[in-house]
């Protein structure tokens, strides 16, 4: 009997052949459920275990797994980017270097949002920032409800938003786009529908971020990921070969996509992967060993930031594929 897998997965260029049915599993089929925004699918997975197979934010996954979630991740990562940019400061905040964040108030959508975790890890381990001396101000709930926030995390006051607070000086710095305050110079409704136009004179904390990111990658081998693939343990128990079959299927789709980048006409949306390949080589590496430095860094950062209580091994969190 064919196994049907209720699945939540966005349509990327490197997954489109799977979404379209051009590539199939040998003895299972996907039932794709589209959820928008994707953040809602993350919450439905960690809180209600709604899907058999799901794309999930990697920090959310690590926290959920540490709290006993009955699903496990494959070392398949759908989106990746570096994180020396995207944290902006007010010009009057007295913040000239990352170390100056100590004693300041910084806005981020949620404390466990993956963008925030990667950036705080860079600030702590690359710039010597004591992140416990920063007050992190959030205006959204955490995906994993069992998580306990550290004492230096505060919620925005009722009726306000991160966008409003950085505009009026109630916070000194903030993450941009959907990790926090919204996009500079454009109207935003924040996360609680308070319409604000962000100040145009906000300044990136780390100048020349692209050069710093390439330098950091050459030094550490860490290539931050933003979404991974999780599978319910029940589904794996029903088909012991499913983990390997899924990994091989997604690897095939990714390899075919990367091969297409050498053609005269490349798929839409591939510019970022071509650009990233000049720094990292394979812009979408899959597999445990190919990603070990990155996985271990994320787990380390999660433990340092009090998101999990212990330091897990890569093998504790990801199937060794």
Q: Which of 113, 97, 106 lies closest to 212 in space, CA to CA?
A: 97
Same domain, 69 and 149: no
pLDDT at 198: 82
pLDDT at 183: 62
pLDDT at 185: 46
Same domain, 113 and 135: yes
As for how many domains the chain has, the answer is 2
Same domain, 105 and 187: yes
pTM (predicted TM-score): 0.94
Q: Which of 164, 172, 170 lies closest to 189 in space, CA to CA?
A: 164
Q: In 3-state terms, what secondary structure has residue 110?
A: coil
pLDDT at 195: 66
Same domain, 190 and 247: no
Note whether 176 and 183 are within 8 A (CB).
Answer: yes
Instruction: Name the H helices within 32-77.
Output: 38-48, 58-66
**CATH code of 57's domain:** 3.40.190.10
Digitized pLDDT (tens) for each residue of the chain, 321 residues in all: 789 999 999 999 999 999 999 999 999 999 999 999 888 999 999 999 999 999 999 999 999 999 999 999 999 999 999 999 999 999 999 999 999 999 999 999 999 999 999 999 999 999 999 999 999 999 999 999 999 999 999 999 998 999 999 999 999 999 998 878 876 544 444 444 456 778 889 999 999 999 999 999 999 999 999 999 999 999 999 999 999 999 999 999 999 999 999 887 777 778 999 999 999 999 999 999 999 999 999 999 999 999 999 889 999 999 999
Helix pair angle (58-66, 38-48), 10° resolution? 10
Give the domain extent around 187.
87-214
**Token pair of 293 as six digits:** 């430095």
User: Sheet harboring 71-80: ordered strands across?
Assistant: 28-32, 3-8, 53-56, 225-232, 71-80
Same domain, 95 and 206: yes
**CATH code of 161's domain:** 3.40.190
pLDDT at 314: 96
pLDDT at 181: 84
Q: Which of 256, 216, 2, 243 lies closest to 118 in space, CA to CA?
A: 216
Tell me how far apart the alpha carbons of residues 150 and 137 are, in angstroms, rounded to a whole number.
12
Domain end: 179, 214, 249, which one? 214
pLDDT at 190: 45
Same domain, 77 and 92: no
Tell me how far apart the alpha carbons of residues 73 and 144 are, in angstroms, rounded to a whole number.
16
Same domain, 36 and 62: yes
pLDDT at 193: 42
**Token pair of 94 as six digits:** 């007295």
Same domain, 276 and 170: no
Same domain, 139 and 179: yes
C-alpha distances in angstroms, 81 versus 4, 151, 298? 32, 29, 14
Same domain, 60 and 154: no
Same domain, 150 and 56: no
């Amino acid at each position: 009997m064919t196994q049907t897998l209720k699945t939540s997965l966005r349509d990327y260029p490197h997954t489109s052949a799977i979404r379209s049915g051009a590539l199939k599993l040998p003895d299972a089929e996907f039932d794709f459920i589209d959820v928008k925004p994707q953040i809602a699918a993350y919450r439905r997975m960690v809180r209600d275990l709604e899907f058999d197979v799901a794309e999930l934010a990697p920090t959310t996954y690590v926290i959920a797994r540490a709290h006993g979630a009955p699903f496990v991740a494959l070392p398949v990562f759908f989106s990746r980017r570096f994180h020396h940019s995207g944290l902006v400061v007010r010009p009057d905040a007295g913040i000239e270097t990352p170390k100056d964040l100590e004693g300041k108030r910084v806005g981020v959508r949620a404390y466990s949002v993956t963008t925030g975790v990667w950036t705080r890890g860079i600030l702590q381990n690359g710039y010597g920032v004591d992140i416990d001396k920063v007050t992190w101000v959030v205006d959204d709930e955490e995906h994993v409800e069992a998580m306990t926030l550290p004492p230096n995390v505060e919620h925005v006051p009722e009726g306000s938003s991160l966008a409003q607070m950085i505009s009026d000086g109630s916070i000194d710095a903030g993450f941009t786009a959907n990790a926090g305050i919204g996009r500079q110079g454009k109207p935003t409704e924040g996360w609680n529908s308070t319409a604000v136009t962000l100040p145009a004179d906000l300044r990136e904390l780390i100048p020349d971020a692209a050069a710093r990111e390439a330098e950091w990658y050459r030094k550490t081998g860490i290539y931050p990921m933003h979404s991974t693939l999780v599978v319910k343990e029940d589904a794996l128990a029903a088909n012991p070969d499913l983990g390997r079959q899924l990994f091989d299927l997604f690897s095939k789709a990714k390899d075919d996509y990367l091969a297409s980048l050498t053609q005269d006409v490349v798929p839409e949306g591939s510019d970022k992967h071509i650009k990233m390949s000049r720094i990292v080589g394979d812009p979408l590496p899959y597999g445990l060993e190919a990603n070990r430095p990155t996985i271990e860094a994320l787990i380390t950062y999660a433990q340092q930031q009090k998101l999990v209580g212990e330091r897990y091994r890569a093998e504790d969190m990801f199937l060794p594929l």
